[in-house]
Structure 1
Amino acid sequence: MTLTTKAIRIDQHGGADQLKLVELPVGEPGPGEIRIRHKAIGLNFIDIYQRSGLYPQKMPLSLGMEGAGVVEAVGEGVTHLRAGDRAAYASAPPGSYCELRVMPAKTVCKLPDAISFETGAAMMLKGLTVQYLLKKTLPQGGLQAGDFVLFHAAAGGVGLIACQWARALGLQLIGTAGSDAKCALAKANGAAHVINYGTEDFAARVKEITGGEGVKVVYDSIGKDTFDKSLECLRTFGLLASFGNASGAVPPFAPAILAPKSLYLTRATLFAHMTTRENTQAMADDLFAVVESGAVQIHIDQRYPLAEVQQAHQDMEARKTTGCSILTL
């Protein structure tokens, strides 16, 4: 009997109206693959970048980069998973917006029993992003307890995890957000200081908070609208870690703008850190541990049925969401 799945697919780049619910066949897993039946699916800004064409993809495209569910079958050579395992992942290629899929097993991890499917789906891409940022994407000399860092979009899914994890590491995270309510949310989740970038000059406030010195590192997922002022916030030898383009891509610039303070710049990506199963598992183990300890709680503030994915994308693009958003099945 041929298996089928309801899935969300686009046939061309464009707006949220391109997202269509379709029925697709699902085969057997090949070597190095698994078949997983989702219980919940994560929503992320990278999905919007791929849908819109900011990150061009081949068509037709099934979207979605993270999910959690139960492994139904494993292909040849897969030894870390077996049928019946609870599992979660953040993974390329995209395709998690569905009930059932066959996918590479390399970045799929067993989900601890203490972590729900919804939490697993919501936290993998965002939580692993925070893990590689705070643990691996570091300024000269690294980060020590008491150091100031600036984190944009601090009330979003990635941001709220970062606020909590930074607090657990003893860092003084300065979080920016677009409203007083979002600033209060970031503060409640561990941000040492918050800045409403809609009403305040965040570069000036950062200088004030740090006694004029600036921060060691800025973690910036906003892109075009914050790039220049993010550079202003850095101390000498500071690092700007650009890891997203929520406001659009950063335009070309002359490297000489980094010279006055000998600044460092990286365009960081999660999947560069997940090239082996061992690396992926080590990162996931770190994430699972901090969540199971209670130091980081995963806030799922929006839930949408799979068929309402257009509304989910519209809400994310309109900055109407906080914390994590998931698709339910």
Structure 2
Amino acid sequence: MSLRPRVIVNPLLNTATTITRLRSLTSQLSFRQSPASRRPPNPNAIRAMSSLPSTMKAVSFSQTGGPDVLEYSESTPLPQLQDGQVLVKNNFAGVNYIDTYFRSGLYPAQFPFTPGQEAAGTIVKIQGANPLGFKEGDRVVWIKVGGYAEYTAVAADRVIKIPQGVSEENAVGSFLMGMTALSLIKEAYPVKKGDTILVHAAAGGMGLLLTQMLREFGCTVIGTAGGPEKCALAKENGAHHVIDYKATSGPSWVEQVLKLTNGEGVDCTYDGVGKDTWEGDLEVAKRKSKVVYYGNASGPVPPINITRLTAKNISIMRSTLMGYIVTRPELEYYASGVLDMVKDGKLKIKIHKIYPLAEARQAQEDLEGRRTTGKLLLKL
């Protein structure tokens, strides 16, 4: 049986009057309909919202140790949103040394812990007030924790929209490392045109971005890397001089840096290696120069007798990006600085490899084994 709308005819109204009133009503309704309501809804957002699962794929660990403590699961409960958070369906997550610091116990973590400081994807849900104007379906990149998972609940003020023309891979491939590099040269040691800067691990993900930025700022870059292929890559990305620290013959990297600087040393060293390089850093430091540590790839720098800095008035510091992006304006400043450079083609992103989420353990093994160049990503 078909259901037809019931029509009530008022005999007091003639046909002409009825038609006139109907036209008037239709015109009013059309006028009141806003342009936004006439726009077709974002099909990706509708699809995501209508198909949110109760569980997801994720990688976590419940004890510290080597990469073998990482556990892959396909039945992790979906995170519950709190006010001020957005739920992001992650498509790519960055793999960084800081992930290994939490896993190894160098940095404290609450178990079970899902690593991953950054990811890129799509907003599928928004909870509570939304002063930043995000919409379901927005392409975003974020910085927090929990990136080794299909979905992450992220505080909205830690989320940045991806500009048009920038892929999700390049957004997350440049995000944490790019902001770290920019904070080093803007605040940790504000570089000046003509400075001579030493960059360790110049063929790594961080080193490649840092070298390109330093070249853009008019600095002379001396890079160190392990092996001919990595040295060539560092050179291709802007290093003026590259030293192979794995070379079994010839002068040490310290001797080569001093030779390149006519015995004066460098204005600043940016060191993400740590334990293996810190003593050499002090030897190649110029008078009144600075050594900035931002990572511990070979282990943390041991306690230093401060009198070792006296002869050349050397300053040292341990920098962290998180100390420079505490506020929303600070995050926006560094994020836009990096993503604009990517969009304009001034910053080239080298993706070493994209691993399936289930191979997160292998990704961290490759990173710690220094078998990589450029950025490592997980596909979610």
Partner of 1:50: 102
Counterpart of 1:315 in structure 2 is 366
Does residue 124 of structure 2 align to residue 72 of structure 1? yes
**Aligned counterparts of 1:215 and 1:108: Cα–Cα separation in 2:** 37
Alignment of 1:185-200 (within 5 A): 185-199=233-247, 200=251
TM norm structure 2? 0.83
Match of 1:252 among 291, 294, 303: 303
Letter in 2 for 1:136: E
Give me the whole-angstrom Cα distance separating, in 2, the residues matched to 1:26 and 1:304. 22
Query: Which of 224, 238, 244 is the matching residue for 1:176?
Result: 224
SS of residue in 1 equivalent to 2:215: helix
Tell me if the contact between 1:69 and 1:117 (Cα under 8 Å) persists in the aligned partners.
Answer: yes
Query: Which residues in structure 2 correspond to 1:99-248 (within 5 Å)?
Result: 99-138=150-189, 142-199=190-247, 200-248=251-299
Please name the residue that 2:113 is paired with: 61
Q: Is the 8 A contact 2:175 2:339 kept in 1?
A: no
Distance in 2 separating the partners of 1:314 and 1:276: 34
Supply the AA of the counterpart residue of 1:37. Answer: K
Q: How big is the shift at 1:143?
A: 2.3
Q: Distance in 2 between matches of 1:30 and 1:126?
A: 28
Deviation of residue 314 (structure 1)?
Answer: 1.0
Q: How many positions carry a matched residue from both structures?
A: 324
Q: Judging changes above 3 Å, is the alpha-carbon distance between structure 1 residues 28 and 54 closer, same or farther for their aligned structure 2 residues?
A: closer
| Residue 142 (structure 2) pairs with residue 89 (structure 1) | yes
Q: Distance in 2 between matches of 1:262 and 1:161?
A: 29
Q: Give % identity.
A: 38
The answer for the alignment partner of 2:28 in structure 1 is none
- Which residue identity is paired with 1:301? H
SS at match of 2:148: coil
- Partner of 2:213: helix, strand, or coil? helix
Cα deviation, residue 82, structure 1: 2.2
- Measured in 1, the distance between the counterparts of 2:236 and 2:79 equals 46
Deviation at 1:27, TM superposition (A): 4.0
For the 8 Å contact 1:274–1:280, the answer to whether it is kept is yes
| Partner amino acid, structure 2, of 1:76 | G
Distance 2:172 2:54 in 1: 23
Q: Which moved more, 1:52-61 or 1:150-159?
A: 52-61
Query: Pairwise CA RMSD of aligned residues?
Result: 1.3
Q: Secondary structure at the match of 2:160?
A: strand
4+ runs of 1 displaced by more than 6 Å?
none
Q: How big is the shift at 1:296?
A: 0.9
Q: Higher strand share goes to which structure?
A: 1
Mark the CA change 1:302 to 1:2 in structure 2 (over 3 Å): closer, same or farther.
Answer: closer
Displacement, 1:74? 1.8
Q: Is the 8 A contact 1:31 1:78 kept in 2?
A: no
Q: Which of 1 and 2 has higher RCO (CA within 8 Å, sep 6+)?
A: 1
Could you say what secondary structure the match of 1:173 adopts?
Answer: strand
Residue 361 of structure 2 aligns to a residue whose secondary structure is helix
State the TM-score, normalized to the length of structure 1: 0.95
Residue 6 of structure 1: CA displacement? 0.7
Unpaired segments ≥5 residues, structure 2: 1-51
C-alpha distance after superposition, 1:38-65 (max 9, x if no partner): 1111000111111111223121111111
Partner of 1:10: 61
Of 264, 282, 304 in structure 1, the residue corresponding to residue 333 of structure 2 is 282
Q: Does the Cα contact within 8 Å between 2:79 and 2:151 map onto a contact in 1?
A: no
